[in-house]
């Protein structure tokens, strides 16, 4: 890990910025199923039946039930060493650090990450289908729950397939064109537009690192690949970066 950390440290320089993209893989060691895990929650459903605006229009109770189950499960799991390592990296770099997550869980938040963009929304929030107001929401959302401002129905604050992710107009593109080092952690690279971010970074001359259990279809883009569990790889890497910074 020492030589990999040194390459990252050299690419970063004294004032370079780090942008991190995480996916379902970083939360796998906490006990949340990834998208394509066999035996996972998603395997029992077709994506089109639970994670699209069309599904919600046709069968809102099935869609609400799916997210209610996931929200309830989230209360039973904890952040892991991978989430905590990224919070430590933020402490080390301050405003030179941005974390973009595709995850709708709150495990990065609970681990202490603050410079965090939830590009696909958050399970612990609900949004009014009418006026768009977003509110904190820990319980099940029912079809009878109504917006306090306009009385329209409440939906999960989740970006479904076919909808535009949050922060894509400015914050995320800026963080990609502006960073010296980009990490893609625990993501299969199958979901658009998250899977275009590493290319944006490469086009702007940044150094790209992939952390994953295995090679992905996008692995060719990356300057460095760290194969292994995020919860094991990231603490070692961040410790090395801390040592290099202090030496």
The residues that are catalytic are: 120
In whole angstroms, give the CA distance from residue 233 to residue 245: 18
| Local structure of residue 64 (DSSP, 8 states) | H
* Nearest approach, Cβ of residue 153 and Zn ion (Å): 9
* Nearest approach, Cβ of residue 133 and Zn ion (Å): 5
Cβ atoms within 10 Å of 161's Cβ, excluding its own: 14
* The pair of three-digit structure tokens given for residue 100, joined into one six-digit string: 């973009």
Tokens 């320089």 belong to 13
Binds 149: which of Zn ion, ligand NAD, none (CB < 5-8 Å by kind) = Zn ion
Cβ atoms within 10 Å of 148's Cβ, excluding its own: 9
Q: Is residue 113 involved in binding ligand NAD (CB under 6 A)?
A: no
Q: Is residue 156 involved in binding ligand NAD (CB under 6 A)?
A: no
- In the shown chain, the binding pattern of residues 209 to 228 toward ligand NAD, with x for contact by CB under 6 A and - for none, equals --xxxx-x------------
Among the listed residues 45, 63, 47, the one whose alpha carbon sits nearest the alpha carbon of residue 129: 63
- In the shown chain, the binding pattern of residues 141 to 180 toward Zn ion, with x for contact by CB under 5 A and - for none, equals ------x-xx-x----------------------------
Nearer to ligand NAD, 2 or 215 (CB): 215
For 136, phi and psi rounded to 5 degrees?
A: -60, 140
Among the listed residues 96, 116, 91, the one whose alpha carbon sits nearest the alpha carbon of residue 106: 116
Q: Is residue 191 involved in binding ligand NAD (CB under 6 A)?
A: yes
Number of residues in the chain: 247
* Nearest approach, Cβ of residue 123 and ligand NAD (Å): 7
Q: Which residue in the set 5, 18, 24, 241 belongs to the binding site for ligand NAD (CB under 6 A)?
A: 24
* The pair of three-digit structure tokens given for residue 224, joined into one six-digit string: 């460095």
Q: Which residue in the set 126, 229, 238, 241 belongs to the binding site for ligand NAD (CB under 6 A)?
A: 229
For 156, phi and psi rounded to 5 degrees?
A: -60, 145
Could you list the residues that contact ligand NAD (CB under 6 A)?
23-25, 27-29, 32, 34-36, 102-105, 120, 186-188, 190-191, 211-214, 216, 229-231
């Amino acid at each position: 890990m020492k030589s990999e950390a040194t390459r990252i440290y050299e690419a970063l320089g004294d004032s370079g910025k780090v942008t991190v993209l995480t996916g379902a893989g970083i939360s796998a060691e906490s006990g949340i199923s990834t998208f394509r895990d066999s035996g996972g929650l998603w395997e029992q459903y077709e994506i089109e039946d639970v994670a699209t605006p069309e599904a919600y229009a046709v069968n809102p109770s099935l869609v609400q039930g799916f997210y209610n189950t996931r929200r309830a499960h989230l209360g039973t799991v904890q952040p892991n060493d991978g989430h905590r390592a990224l919070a430590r990296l933020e402490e080390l770099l301050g405003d030179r650090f941005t974390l973009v997550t595709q995850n709708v869980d709150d495990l990065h938040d609970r681990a202490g990450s603050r410079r965090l963009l939830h590009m696909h929304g958050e399970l612990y929030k609900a949004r009014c289908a009418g006026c768009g107001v977003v509110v904190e929401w820990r319980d099940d959302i029912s079809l009878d729950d109504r917006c306090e401002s306009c009385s329209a129905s409440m939906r999960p604050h989740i970006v479904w397939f076919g909808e535009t992710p949050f922060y894509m107009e400015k914050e995320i593109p800026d963080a990609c064109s502006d960073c010296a080092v980009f990490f893609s952690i625990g993501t299969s690279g199958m979901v658009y537009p998250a899977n275009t971010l590493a290319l944006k970074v490469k086009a702007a001359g940044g150094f790209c690192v992939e952390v994953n259990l295995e090679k992905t279809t996008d692995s060719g883009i990356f300057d460095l690949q760290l194969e292994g569990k995020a919860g094991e790889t990231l603490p070692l890497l961040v410790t090395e970066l801390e040592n290099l910074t202090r030496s």
